[in-house]
Chain A
Amino acid sequence: MTYLFNTPDQEREMLRTIGARSSEDLFEQIPSASRLDRPLDLAPPLGEMELERELRALASRNSGSGSRACFMGGGVYDHFIPAAVDEVAGRGEFYTAYTPYQAEASQGSLQAFFEFQSLICRLTGMDVCNASLYEGGTAVSEAAFMAMRVTDRHEKVVVLGSVHPEYRQVLRTYLSNLKCDLVVIPTPAGTADPEQVRAALDDKTACLIFQHPNFFGCLEDPDELTKLARSVGALSIVSFDPISLGLLRRPGDYGADVAVAEGQSLGIPMQYGGPFLGLFTCRNEFLRKMPGRLVGRTTDRLGRSCYTLTIQAREQHIRREKATSNICTNQGLLALRATVYLSLVGCHGLREVAELCCRKAHYAAERLSAVAGLSRAFADRPFFKEFVLSCASNDVEPVLACARHAGFDLGPSLSRFAQVGDGALQNGILVAVTEQRTRQEIDALAAALANERFALAGRPAAAGRQEPSASR
């Protein structure tokens, strides 16, 4: 990135142009009591060589997924990212996280988003895809809002307890100032009970929201759930895992009305707090009720193929308070990464990635649940790449710490999610296995935990035991 600075001459010229004597003048309107009357308390400036040494020392305190084996789940996953993704997305022509204001001036970006939309439509089997939203949680919430517009039902939204608790939290926030009930159907068995879902739905329900594979990694029955929603005239909204569609049936094939997802798995590195990528697709008849930007292909006045933002009249810069959504942009850079990723892996590659995840996750589940004191929760439910490991007694932390000490990251622990926390699940730990994990890593993790269990068993119960790793 270019380092921009002003020379004293340039500063003088700018001040002259705007008629100010000094840059101090520009702050005059801020009351003196609110102004800092001393220099900022910063360390003295460093030369380039010293700075580089300082930054290297700081960076060496990080430990990234490259130096450890990541088995973490809960919505963000350590999938492989081919080098070409960085190469293409890092090109100067593309390297912005933002949709340009004069969108049509950037034909390259628009073409990439058009390809993105087309790829996601093929991936999901849905009719329309927008140019992306911020992340999975807002995608779920925007889908619920759209369902309320489509059905003209504004009183009730039904969501399964097996939907990511953070997505449900975002949804709750979105709905908090509306007179709309958010009904959560508990899923103590790991997946939805169709009878309970049927009982919760009525002719006031705008939508039924489920996740498949769900937050616990288990597979729901999407045919049954979409059918139940349809039977009361509500929209079915599914939050899916893009990688899982290499193996599982597509939302469009089981009749989902809206399919949304967190797209981080598609070529986007794990980053603390994001940025992430929201995928949003739906059936054609809801096109005009959709939130977000849409890129269309057309021809210019000379008959050449070109790209344009379309169905824009419903966005807030035109429609003001009557806009379909306050989303007026897209997650451009990350949508581009997903486009490059999907183009590179292709249909067969995606199937291979999904198969590897699925097989390795099942191997890991088998090995880990064979460790004394550990078992797989919801053991009778089929799963894809993620499962809940449950501890016999209340030693989630020791298990996590032992794995951490041995170089493996598991979790998050389900106790972290207050809304999930009922009884047995407090002792649950999410474990996800991507194509990047090896048999050796899985075996080593199981061995480390087995040793820990053995050690635990031989120690007096909970007598101020020390964490194996001091750095937490």
Chain B
Amino acid sequence: MDVNSLKYAKSHEWIALAGNTATVGITDFAVHQLTDLVHIELPKLGRNVREGESFGEVESVKAVSDLYAPVSGEIVAVNDQLADDLGVLSVDPFGKGWMIKIKIADPSSLARLLDRKGYEAYCAEEENHA
């Protein structure tokens, strides 16, 4: 997966567009920040999510963090294998670490997402504040 072709949310999710469908996961930066991941909870197929709404949660040894939908729409696929092997999130967050696919209801929210350059700048800023 070419990270430069993806779009990013400030809540550290990425999306890959294929027509009207967005594949969603969390970024390498997020995985690194979360440290040791122990558990993930993903939504049921067919659920409708709104942009910015929590679609699941990921648990590390230190904290449970929400996963936020970067766009609104219906969840049309869920990566059920992820829960059994969270290790792939560390090695391939942009590929095998995908979480859900959303059938986009409102493409206008795509405009609010960042490109790779914008996202990297945002992360650098966050790290400086930390």
Q: Which chain A residues have a beta carbon within 8 Å of chain B's beta carbons? A: 288, 313-314, 318-319, 322
**From A288, A313, A319, residue with most partner B Cβ within 10 Å:** A313
B90 within 8 A of A: no
Contact A318 B63 (CB under 8 A): yes
Contacts of B39 in A (CB 8 A): 288
Within 46-92 of B, Cβ neighbours of A (below 8 Å) are at 59-64, 66
> Main secondary structure on chain B at its contact with chain A?
strand
**A314 to B63 Cα, complex, angstroms:** 7
How far does the Cβ of A291 sit from chain B's closest Cβ, in whole Å?
Answer: 14
In the bound complex, how far is the Cα of B56 from the Cα of A288, in angstroms?
14
Q: How far is the CB of B65 from chain A (nearest CB, A)?
A: 9
Q: Indicate if the CB atoms of B59 and A318 lie closer than 8 Å.
A: no
Which residues in A have their C-beta under 8 angstroms from that of B60? 313
A313 vs B63: C-alpha distance when bound (angstroms):
5
Complex interface: chain B residues within 8 A of A313 (CB):
59-64
Closest to A313 in B: B64
CB proximity of B81 to chain A, nearest CB, Å: 18
Cβ–Cβ < 8 Å partners of B41 in chain A: 288
The residue on A at minimum CB distance from B39 is A288
Q: Using CB atoms, name the residue of chain A closest to B59.
A: A313
Q: How many angstroms between the C-alpha atoms of A196 and B102 in the bound complex?
A: 43
Tally of contacts, chain A with chain B, CB under 8 A: 18
Complex contacts, B59 vs chain A, CB 8 Å: 288, 313-314
Q: Can you list 17 A-B contacts with CB-CB less than 8 angstroms, sorted by A residue number?
A: A288-B39, A288-B41, A288-B59, A313-B59, A313-B60, A313-B61, A313-B62, A313-B63, A314-B59, A314-B64, A318-B62, A318-B63, A318-B64, A319-B63, A319-B64, A322-B64, A322-B66
Q: How far is the CA of A99 from the CA of B62 in the complex (A)?
A: 20
A sample of 10 more A-B contacts (CB under 8 A), given A319-B63, A319-B64, A322-B64, is: A288-B39, A288-B41, A288-B59, A313-B59, A313-B60, A313-B61, A313-B63, A313-B64, A314-B59, A318-B62
A319 — which chain B residues lie within 8 A by C-beta?
Answer: 63-64
Alpha-carbon gap, A322 to B54, bound state (A): 12
Q: Which residue of B lies closest to A310 (CB)?
A: B61
Task: Give CA–CA (A322, B39) in the complex, Å.
Answer: 16
Smallest CB separation, B19 vs chain A (Å): 30
Return A320 CB to nearest CB of chain B, in Å: 10
Which A residues are in CB contact (< 8 Å) with B64? 313-314, 318-319, 322
Minimal beta-carbon separation of B36 from chain A (angstroms): 11
- Bound Cα distance from A467 to B48, whole angstroms: 68
Least CB distance from B112 to A in Å reads 25
Could you say which residues of chain A place their CB within 8 Å of the CB of B63? 313, 318-319
Instruction: Write out the residue numbers on chain A whose beta carbons fall within 8 Å of the beta carbon of B62.
Output: 313, 318
5 closest A-B pairs by beta carbon, nearest first, are A313-B64, A313-B59, A313-B63, A319-B64, A318-B63
> CA–CA, A322 to B41, complex, Å?
14
How far is B66's CA from A314's CA once the two chains are assembled, in angstroms?
12
What's the nearest-Cβ distance from chain B to residue A412, in Å? 43
Q: Which of B61, B62, B64, B66 is packed against the most chain A CB atoms within 10 Å?
A: B64
Q: Which residue of A lies closest to B41 (CB)?
A: A288
How distant is A174 from chain B, measured CB to nearest CB, in Å? Answer: 22
CB of A299 to closest CB in B, whole Å: 16
A233 to chain B, nearest CB (A): 13
Give complex CA distance A26, B62 in Å. 40
Give Cα A313–Cα B41 distance, bound, in whole angstroms: 14
Contact residues in B for A318 (Cβ distance below 8 Å): 62-64
Provide the bound-state CA to CA distance between A322 and B63, in Å: 11
CB-CB < 8 A to B61: which residues of A?
Answer: 313
Q: Which chain B positions have C-beta within 8 A of A322? A: 64, 66
State in angstroms the CA–CA spacing of A319 and B58 once bound together: 12
Closest B residue to A314 by CB, please name it: B64
Q: B residues within 8 A CB of A288?
A: 39, 41, 59
CB of A152 to closest CB in B, whole Å: 8
> Please, which residue of chain B has its CB at the minimum distance from the CB of A288?
B39
A322, B64: Cα distance in complex, Å: 9
Query: Looking across the interface, which residue of chain A has its beta carbon closest to that of B57?
Result: A322
CB distance from B10 to the nearest CB of A (A): 20
Cβ distance B45 to chain A, nearest Cβ, rounded Å: 14
Question: Which single residue of chain B is at the shortest CB-CB distance from A323?
Answer: B64
